[in-house]
Amino acid sequence: MYELYPAIAPYNEGYLQVSELHKIHFEESGNPQGKPIVLLHGGPGGGCPPFYRQYFHPQKWRLVMFDQRGCGQSKPHAELRENTTSDLVSDIEKLREHLGIEKWAVFGGSWGSTLSLAYSQTHPARCTELILRGIFMLRKKELHWFYQEGASYIFPDAWEEYLKPIPPAERDDLLTAYYQRLTSPDLQIRLEAARAWSIWEASTSRLFTDTDLMKNFGQNDFAEAFARIECHYFINHGFLEAENQLLLNVDKIRHIPAVIVQGRYDVVCPMVSAWELHRAWPEAEFIVVPDAGHSMSEPGIRSALIAATNKFAFNS
């Protein structure tokens, strides 16, 4: 079982202006002469907490992390304008060029796996390896499962709390009902919806419910960016061109060494999506963690991810 590396501080951080409206916060940690890797966080809208650095050998990796548009320390906060998947893919390239990196490994979980697939399929020549966790391809069946009907059967107690901001008459289309509230000009309406949305995800992310995680996700600043940006992407089907775009384009990345890590009991991003990606991409190493849900902090997932980062750090 692999444990987290000791906590480290970044050796470089700053802001990159990626459009007239948006500037993203980025940081570098580890070894400036190490192998480059970029971490794509979840959400969208989740940001990068410092403990993410601890999944990477600090002498082997040059780790780049950044907060995607509208979240974390990026500005403006919770902004939905000019915030699409193609915008984020473009930001990753701008950041790579800004840092003078020719190629890098890509690490992403949950929404980060979605963005990793979109980025690598757009710029395969820039990717040395892929490490993906909690596969999410932003298809209708995945969104329906978690935000309309499916996960509700496993967590009916948490689901009741998720439903509270939405009147019964609007519950046949919860994404639309939430989107209307999360884009309301009334701050209190936005925050009530944002907290319910975010706590629902926190309630279901781990095999054993973590009340500290629920408390953190319910904080106003985090919840508003997280819920608004997620709902914005989900109601627009991820701004993808086709329902199965990320599966259909696997041939573009088949040659890239990859590891896929999936919790067997992931309720947020059920294993069927990882399985379908595995079937389409058998060349990628596929690891099912038998006693885990969705979170990268769960022991089995944490260990598998660190094993993967070590594998690519030491075998290249």
User: Binning pLDDT at 50, 70 and 90, where does residue 185 land?
Assistant: very high
What CATH number is attached to the domain comprising 61? 3.40.50.1820
Q: How many domains does the chain have?
A: 2
User: Of 220, 238, 256, which residue is a domain's last?
Assistant: 238
Catalytic residue among 67, 232, 266, 295: 266
Q: Is 91 a catalytic residue?
A: no
Q: What is the pTM of this model?
A: 0.98
Catalytic residue among 41, 74, 91, 110: 110
Catalytic residue among 25, 41, 232, 294: 294
State whether 131 and 248 are in the same domain. Answer: yes
Q: Is 295 a catalytic residue?
A: no
* Within a domain: 126: yes
The full length of the chain comes to 316
Inter-CA distances, 55 with 84, 158, 184, 302, Å: 28, 30, 38, 8
* Within a domain: 1: no
State whether 121 and 37 are in the same domain. Answer: yes
State whether 83 and 164 are in the same domain. Answer: no
- Residue 129 backbone phi and psi in degrees, to 5: -150, 165
The string of pLDDT tens digits covering residues 251-275 is 999 999 999 999 999 999 999 999 9
State whether 207 and 128 are in the same domain. Answer: no
Mean pLDDT of 21-27: 98
Q: Is 94 exposed, middle or buried (0-12, 13-18, 19+ CB in 10 A)?
A: middle
Residue-number span of the structural domain to which 183 is assigned: 141-238
Reply yes or no on whether the pLDDT at 229 is more than 90: yes
User: Binning pLDDT at 50, 70 and 90, where does residue 316 land?
Assistant: low
State whether 42 and 125 are in the same domain. Answer: yes
* Within a domain: 4: no
Residue 315 has a pLDDT of 81
Q: Is 266 a catalytic residue?
A: yes
Residue 77 has a pLDDT of 97
The string of pLDDT tens digits covering residues 59-69 is 999 999 999 99
Q: What is the mean pLDDT of the chain?
A: 97
State whether 131 and 276 are in the same domain. Answer: yes
Question: Which secondary structure element, helix H or strand E, spans residue 112, and what is its range?
Answer: helix 111-122
* Within a domain: 7: no
The string of pLDDT tens digits covering residues 76-132 is 999 999 999 999 999 999 999 999 999 999 999 999 999 999 999 999 999 999 999
